[in-house]
Structures are given as structure tokens and as C-alpha cells.
Amino acid sequence: MTTITAEQVKKLRDTTGAGIMDCKKALEEAQGNFDLAIEILRKRGHKIAAARQERDAKEGAVFAAVSSHEGHMILLGCETDFVAKNQEFRAFGQKIAQASLENGVKSIEEVHTLIIDGLPLAEKVAELTAKIGEKLEVSRWARLEGEYVTAYIHLGGRIGVLVALSGVDQLDEATLEEVGQNIAMQVAALRPVSVDRYSVPADLLEKEKEIAREQARAEGKPEALLEKIAVGKLEKFFKEVVLLEQEYFKDSQKTIGQYLKSISPKLTVSGFIRFQVGGKA
């Protein structure tokens, strides 16, 4: 019978996250063959994955899949940046995004019912967890529809953006792709909160107005003028957080809205979604 050393058990435990006794038994069953032991533990993958659920999957990467009128985006989380760069991890994330698009998924709950490589997503996650040795989870999902949809992945998956354009009649595919990518890069870099000023969340507007009122009050302005001053200061705020009013990063003489009109009078952005690893937007 093959003698199993403590070092072998530790290596398998570090790789899979399985318990010490599970690793020892798997190595004994595999007669010391490390890869075979991993395969044995994969069959118990649900237990391995469950054992790591208390861990924090704070790293990961964003993946997207698009058709001309629809885009799907996920954030696949893991524990370390090292695993986020792993090719198998990245291929798995892209398969999930593509399967979400192809199956017309409508919610993150439906994402978890997808079949990937012939197996339910939960089983594939458990299998990869056993192999990679880190907690994995689909932590965010989004879907965007429009007349034309494109995706942009930045910093190797640290940031992902979906953009939907409208008023695209008479524009060719190459132009739409260029414009879509430019807008997506703008969203990635400057983090707007809405397409136009009318869709800025009400609570965020009120927060900014309250800050402006307090600043004016501290400067000794009359109470009767505070609201008017606050509303006036919102103009600067809109230029910072509203996509169509932001300064275009490729041409500081234009806003995003003006850039779009220079391409076509009817062209505009109907929606966008931004994911960032480690962030809420």
C-alpha cells in the first residue's frame, strides 16, 4: 500500500479546500496519484464548495456576451486575483455569460439553473472549486436590451460595461461598434450614474442639494436663498454624473450628447450597466 505523507495531504488540501481526512482518503484511494485524488474529490465537490462558503469571494472578473439587440453580463467572484487570471476560470466565466444570453435568462436566479458543459451550474462551480481550491460564485448578473447593444471589458475583467444605443437607423455596423465602444469606455472611466438628468435617483439629488444648502449656510447665505443656491449647484453635479452631459473623454470641447449628435441627429444612449470587481457599480 502506498504511504501517504503529510506534505501530500497538505498540498491536496491547499489545492482543493477539502478536509484533511477527505484528502488523505482520496490520496490513499488514488494510491498517491495527485491528479486522480483531485478527480475523486471532484465527485464530492458539493461538500468541498460548501466548506468554503464562509470565505470572501472579493476578487473575480466580469464577463459579457452580446447579440445585436441584447447583452448579458456577469461578475464571477473568487478569493484571489491570482485565480481571477486563471485561464480555466476565465473560460468558465465566459461560458456562463454566453449561456445566459443564449438561454434568454431573465434573473440571477435563472443563471443558477443554467447547464454548462452538460452539468448544472452548481455542479460545475463545485467541480472547479475542487480543482482551483477557492470559493467561486456568480455574484452579479445583468441584462440590457436596445436597438444596438455592445459590451466593453476593461483592465482584464476588473470593469465591464454594457451600452445600449437608440436612433441607430442609417448607421452601419462599424460606426455603431466604434460609437458603442467609445461610450462604454466613457462609462468605465467616468462612472456616470444615469443617462440623463431626469433619471438621476431622487435620493442622490436630495443628498447633493442638502450638501449645497449646508455649504451655503456655512458661508452665511440667507435661509430664503438656500434652495435656489442648491438648485443652481446641481448644474455642476449633472455635468459630473450624467452621461449625456459629461465631457467626452476623447474631445473636451464636446459633451457625450454632442458627440452622439455629431454622428447622427437621432443617435443617443438608451441605457448602460457598469460592473466593477470589488465595487457596487
**Which one has a higher pLDDT value, 25 or 53?**
25
Q: Which pLDDT does position 123 carry in this prediction? A: 85
Task: Say if residue 167's pLDDT is above 70.
Answer: yes
Poorest-pLDDT segment among 1-5, 14-18, 75-79: 14-18
Among 52, 44, 55, which residue's Cα sits nearest to residue 22?
44
- 28/6 Cα distance (integer angstroms): 12
Average pLDDT, the chain: 91
Poorest-pLDDT segment among 39-48, 81-90, 92-101, 119-128: 39-48
Is beta strand 59-66 parallel, antiparallel or unpaired with respect to 70-78? Answer: antiparallel
pLDDT band, very low/low/confident/very high, at 46 (cuts 50, 70, 90): very low
pLDDT, tens digit, for every residue of 132-143? 878 899 999 999
Task: Say if residue 85's pLDDT is above 50.
Answer: yes
Task: Say if residue 92's pLDDT is above 80.
Answer: yes
Domain positions in the chain are 6-43, 59-190+265-276, 197-261
pLDDT, tens digit, for every residue of 229-271? 888 889 899 999 999 999 999 999 999 999 999 999 999 999 9
Among 102, 107, 100, which residue's Cα sits nearest to residue 121?
100
CATH architecture assignment, domain 59-190+265-276 = 2-Layer Sandwich (3.30)
Q: Please, are residues 279 and 140 in contact by the beta-carbon 8 Å criterion?
A: no
Q: Which pLDDT does position 158 carry in this prediction? A: 97
Which cell numbers in the block locate residue 239?
Answer: 455635468
Among 223, 280, 278, 255, which residue's Cα sits nearest to residue 81?
278
pTM for the model stands at 0.80
Q: Which pLDDT does position 48 carry in this prediction? A: 60
CATH architecture assignment, domain 197-261 = Orthogonal Bundle (1.10)
Written out in words, the top-level CATH class of the domain with range 6-43 is mainly alpha
Task: Say if residue 198's pLDDT is above 50.
Answer: yes
For the chain, the helix, strand and coil percentages under 3-state DSSP, each to the nearest 5? 50, 20, 25
Q: Please, are residues 124 and 167 in contact by the beta-carbon 8 Å criterion?
A: no
